[in-house]
Amino acid sequence: MWVAPVALAALVVRLTAGPHPVDDAFITFRYALNLLDGQGLVYNVGESVLGTSAPLYAVLLAAAAKLTGSRSFPDLALWLNALADTVSVGLVFLILRRLRLALGPAILASLLVALSPFAIRYSIGGMETSVLTAVCLLSALLYLRGHRLAPYHLAGLAAGFRPDALAFGAALLIGETWRSKRVPWRSLVVLGVWVGFGMLLLWAVYGEPLPHSVLAKAHQVYRVDPETNFLQHVFLFSSLSFTGAQGFGARGLVVSPAPALNTLALVAFLPLAALCAMGAVRGARDEPRSAPFFIYLVSFTLTYSLLGLRGSLMAEWYLVPLVPFWLILLFSGLAAVGQGVQRTSMRGLVWALPLALLLIEVASLNLGRDETRPATLPLNVWVEREELYLLAADFLNDSAPDDSLIAASEIGALGYACDCRILDTVGLVSPSVSSYYPLPEGSLVGNYAIPTELILSHQPDYLVSLEVFLRNTLLKDGTFLSDYREVWRAQADAFGSRDLLIFERIVSEPEG
């Protein structure tokens, strides 16, 4: 098969880059670890709170650990994701051939998926994005081939890997309704049964129909500029995404690119969006079943852009499943332009764009520029913050009693490596903290700022935090500074911080 070398390249690039888990991935790892150890799908043993939005991925990781005997979840996630991305490369090729693209362009599009630094970042980062993308692409291929219900079973299954996958299932339903001019009731029932069963299961086990992490993010914990979510889509669809959808050198969860870069991204976005629209028109003409791809991209972009207007955060890894569908439409649009060009030399110019995109992707890999890092590691991978939290966990494992309560606003790497109870000050796994938000404007330096009253009322034994999250709250409170003492510090510049700090609660000796 012509695409086999490209699929193999996707596998090799990821495996040679090695595991570089992002902080959120470690949350799912801890759920998988507790499930493997017979404690249930929980974060803190004995607390039924689902603080990961990827429960099915946690179950898959635990099953892989059981089968292989390995307890290294970063390595297990690397292999699962690398294999899923390998499958995705093949699926993109098959979809494009189904859309009547020539062999060369179909292989080139598959190569762009294989070498996408944005996709690689969260594949080796241990997130669920690779498996989710593969499931959605398989659903798309079966839908194109005329399968009636299997695509909806897969779309429903995908929602277990992350709830926003329902957007793809909804796009299938809308596309099928538009094509057949009637409501596809059987398809709707299949998708509804999957969603209903999942919600009932969560309600029975956790007392909530959605992962608590989704509900927690609906509170005013995260605050972003209204245009941030939209700009993330613009940067992705304008191809300025080789260091993350939020722009060049993005090194945090939310980074607002410079105004000049925003303008450049918008200028590049318009012609590429027009090409995608042309691809959608070509697909609607030649293969009406391809309509859900465009519906998916547009509806996802509009929904999260509107949510951004109310300050709701969309982390950039939510964009990863859009990458192959964007490329499918882009290449379909390029094919439409190529068909309308008479001169052979001009047709060559049409394909200069994807070749330029490929050059950007290759240039964004390390390729020996930093000899301490793998050659295939994208330049956008940055895990120094996670490594500092792992060091903090080592300190706590050596110093803190087994029953200690550790408060932190970033609970991924810290919670995975520390055998301790965690009080999550953001509320992903600690529902009781939501009443302390939103914080007053004067208390905010950035997201994750920790409310003073939260710590004073819960009185955790230790507090682990970047200095920036305490700067305008706890570090200015006399009660906290008299009740807690600093016991560990490491330099850290993430989110504009100066240090990562650990405070220990001062326990007064009983009199007499």
Q: Which of 9-13, 148-152, 246-250, 303-307 has the lowest mean pLDDT?
A: 246-250
pLDDT mean over 342-370: 79
257 cis-preceded (ω within 30 degrees of 0)? no
**pLDDT exceeds cutoff 60 at 219:** no
**pLDDT exceeds cutoff 90 at 59:** yes
Instruction: For residue 158, report the phi and psi dihedrals to the nearest 5 degrees.
Output: -60, -30
Report if residue 211 sits inside a domain. Answer: yes
Say whether both 404 and 355 belong to one domain: no
Give how many domains the chain has, as a whole number.
2
**pLDDT in the model for residue 483:** 96
Measured from the Cβ of residue 182, the count of other Cβ atoms closer than 10 Å reads 8
Q: For position 490, which CATH number holds?
A: 3.40.50
Say whether both 411 and 346 belong to one domain: no
Contacts of 348 (CB under 8 A, 6+ apart): none
Q: Share the mean pLDDT of the chain.
A: 89
**pLDDT in the model for residue 247:** 42
Report if residue 8 sits inside a domain. Answer: yes
Whole-angstrom distance, CA of residue 119 vs CA of residue 108: 16
Whole-angstrom distance, CA of residue 164 vs CA of residue 151: 16
**pLDDT in the model for residue 253:** 36
**pLDDT exceeds cutoff 60 at 372:** yes
Burial class (CB in 10 A: 0-12, 13-18, 19+), 462: buried
Q: Domain end: 363, 397, 425, which one?
A: 363
With bands split at pLDDT 50, 70 and 90, how would you rate the model's confidence at 496?
A: confident
Residue range 267-283, pLDDT digits in tens: 888 888 899 999 999 98
Say whether both 146 and 177 belong to one domain: yes
Report if residue 17 sits inside a domain. Answer: yes
Contacts of 510 (CB under 8 A, 6+ apart): none
Whole-angstrom distance, CA of residue 198 vs CA of residue 208: 11
27, 110 in Cβ contact below 8 A?
A: no
Report if residue 378 sits inside a domain. Answer: no
The larger pLDDT score, comparing residue 256 to residue 134, is at 134
The larger pLDDT score, comparing residue 242 to residue 436, is at 436
43, 422 in Cβ contact below 8 A?
A: yes
Is residue 512 helix, strand or coil? coil
DSSP symbol at 208 = S
Whole-angstrom distance, CA of residue 475 vs CA of residue 473: 6
**pLDDT in the model for residue 259:** 67
Structure tokens at 363: 């240039």
Residue range 15-47, pLDDT digits in tens: 999 999 999 999 999 999 999 999 999 999 999
pLDDT mean over 99-112: 93
Say whether both 56 and 152 belong to one domain: yes
Q: What percentage of the chain reaches a pLDDT higher than 70?
A: 90
Strand order in the sheet with 499-505: 421-424, 405-408, 462-466, 499-505, 484-491
Q: Domain end: 316, 334, 363, which one?
A: 363
**pLDDT in the model for residue 267:** 82
With bands split at pLDDT 50, 70 and 90, how would you rate the model's confidence at 246?
A: very low
pLDDT mean over 81-102: 96
Whole-angstrom distance, CA of residue 366 vs CA of residue 357: 17
Question: Which residues are bridge partners to 368 per DSSP?
Answer: none
Is residue 506 helix, strand or coil? coil
pLDDT mean over 490-506: 92
- What one-character-per-residue DSSP string does 316-334 give? GGGGTTHHHHHHHHHHHHH
**pLDDT in the model for residue 369:** 86
Whole-angstrom distance, CA of residue 110 vs CA of residue 146: 23
Q: Which domain holds residue 400?
A: 384-505
Q: Which of 193-197, 228-232, 294-298, 485-489 has the lowest mean pLDDT?
A: 228-232
354, 109 in Cβ contact below 8 A?
A: yes
The larger pLDDT score, comparing residue 298 to residue 242, is at 298
Say whether both 16 and 106 belong to one domain: yes
Say whether both 280 and 235 belong to one domain: yes
Say whether both 390 and 339 belong to one domain: no
**pLDDT exceeds cutoff 60 at 243:** no
The larger pLDDT score, comparing residue 264 to residue 341, is at 264
Report if residue 237 sits inside a domain. Answer: yes
With bands split at pLDDT 50, 70 and 90, how would you rate the model's confidence at 251?
A: very low
With bands split at pLDDT 50, 70 and 90, how would you rate the model's confidence at 221?
A: low
Say whether both 41 and 93 belong to one domain: yes
- What one-character-per-residue DSSP string does 121-154 give? HHHTTT-THHHHHHHHHHHHHHHHTT-SSHHHHH
pLDDT mean over 105-129: 94
**pLDDT exceeds cutoff 50 at 60:** yes
Residue range 296-346, pLDDT digits in tens: 999 999 998 888 887 777 888 999 999 999 999 999 999 888 777 656 655
Residue range 148-199, pLDDT digits in tens: 999 999 999 999 999 999 999 999 999 999 999 999 999 999 999 999 999 9
Q: What percentage of the chain reaches a pLDDT higher than 90?
A: 67
**pLDDT in the model for residue 107:** 95
**pLDDT exceeds cutoff 70 at 256:** no
Say whether both 104 and 161 belong to one domain: yes
**pLDDT in the model for residue 248:** 43
pLDDT mean over 348-355: 79
Say whether both 63 and 212 belong to one domain: yes
Report if residue 267 sits inside a domain. Answer: yes
With bands split at pLDDT 50, 70 and 90, how would you rate the model's confidence at 452?
A: very high
Say whether both 354 and 392 belong to one domain: no
Say whether both 396 and 259 belong to one domain: no
Q: Domain end: 317, 332, 363, which one?
A: 363
**pLDDT exceeds cutoff 80 at 437:** yes
DSSP symbol at 409 = S
Report if residue 371 sits inside a domain. Answer: no
**pLDDT exceeds cutoff 80 at 446:** no
**pLDDT in the model for residue 45:** 95
Report if residue 377 sits inside a domain. Answer: no
**pLDDT in the model for residue 457:** 96
Whole-angstrom distance, CA of residue 374 vs CA of residue 365: 9
